[in-house]
Structure 1
């Protein structure tokens, strides 16, 4: 993949898939503030009302094969649109950063297959702080065999799934370290997202906590990943693999 260059270095060409959604809009706004990234196409499920907005060309999903060259796609759409963007990235030899959830087993298998040809990152949470927390949880679980592990998560009242995908991902890290996590969920007010992981033994405990107060952190994390992933060899990556 070849990107344009500026005085500050390489400018990564980004396609945003799911551009009309809340995350898509945040990505467009925040990408415009960076000098290491340029959005070259915005793709939505519906036909765009305007073809160009703030210098960014817009395409309907059915027109996606007509988008200009790009280095990486950032996908925050619905599971029904995932196959199309994954196929386009494989066809164009471009990286994929995806936050789309609810994928089927067949879609996850296709994702793993594509990762043999292109670099791919799929995550339920793009907070850089949560990426660090996941590593701390795994290390703590491995270092504290036999300790109790509890994960408590809190979100706004409209969030349906419980435990949250992030809580389950943290639990998987704990399990990888040898712990057996238990879960509790709270739904209240307009809480953006809080995740609390506690390791407890007789007479002592360790508490690891992350609070999100602004949803822009997820868009910033996705852009962070998108500017780094195209330089990687094909494979399936985690956000924590791209922190440095």
Structure 2
């Protein structure tokens, strides 16, 4: 059986280590190597069939340049990306296959599909609030997963998330804006990732939730996404493409 060689950008981080452990337990993939801050992305891209990136937004441009130069597809799980990073990803996706996602969990991917469907069908008189909690060391908020779920809700309503986002409420904020998608972030302990999407309608409420019990679920999803990418035609994709939803 031939195996796919996966290289890890951000190999010393929590996700990088979890992905390496997942690869070690499988016989259809091998570890092509890993780098961290200051490492040579070009060298790794040339030896790997596909890269997974869970490093930092600051490193993304150099990583994408290395992947385009070698024709290596990449799964980007790095969170905290800004608008300019998405432009860079769009440009690179003309040359290579890219998955960019705020969460590689297959369960979260399915949750996003349910959120999108619910937002589309319930109507604007249902308020949408997204609550997330992560471990005390997480540096960005709201989480990439919360943003992913917010994007799903916004797509269902056919609105721009950046325009309808409401967060950071404190003091006298006034009433909730009609059509807003609210975010709240909690930090503490060793929580791997809890996410709830609340649809609050007149006299009733729906809650869709996902609770990550172990970081390994993200690693398993990342490896599955990397295998899907290997040898794929250029384009920009997400985990929903991996599941075919």
TM above 0.5, yes or no, is: yes
Shift of 1:98: 1.2
Partner of 2:142: 163
Match of 1:31 in 2: 23
Answer yes or no: is the 8 Å Cα contact 2:75–2:98 preserved in 1: yes
Instruction: Give the TM-score of the pair, scaled to structure 2.
Output: 0.82
Q: Name which of structure 1's ranges 151-160 and 31-40 shifts more when overlaid on structure 2.
A: 151-160
In the alignment, which residue of structure 2 is the partner of 1:16?
A: 8
Partner of 1:73: 51
Structure 1 Cα separation of the partners of residues 84 and 197 of structure 2: 32
Q: Secondary structure at the match of 1:77?
A: coil
Distance (Å, rounded) in 1 between the aligned partners of 2:84 and 2:152: 24
Look up the match of 1:214: 214
Q: Which runs of 5+ in 1 are unaligned?
A: 1-5, 47-60
Higher alpha-carbon deviation: 224-233 or 75-84: 75-84
Please state how far the C-alpha of 1:150 moved relative to its aligned partner: 1.6
More deviation in 108-117 or 183-192? 183-192
C-alpha contact 1:90 1:118 (8 A) present in aligned 2:
yes
Contact 2:133 2:195 in 1 (8 A): yes
Count, aligned residues: 222
- Please state if 1:200 is matched with 2:200: yes
RMSD: 2.1
Matches of 2:45 and 2:136, distance apart in 1: 38
Q: Provide closer, same or farther for how the CA distance between residues 231 and 67 of structure 1 changes in structure 2, counting only shifts above 3 A.
A: closer
Distance in 2 (CA, whole Å) between partners of 1:12 and 1:116 is 23
Q: Is the 8 A contact 2:34 2:44 kept in 1?
A: no
Higher strand share: 1
What residue number does 2:164 align with? none
Structure 1 runs (4+) greater than 4 angstroms displaced: none
By how many angstroms is 1:83 displaced? 2.1
Structure 2 CA distance for partners of 1:185 and 1:43, relative to 1, 3 Å: closer
**Corresponding residue number in structure 1 for 2:162:** none
Counterpart residue number, 2:111: 133
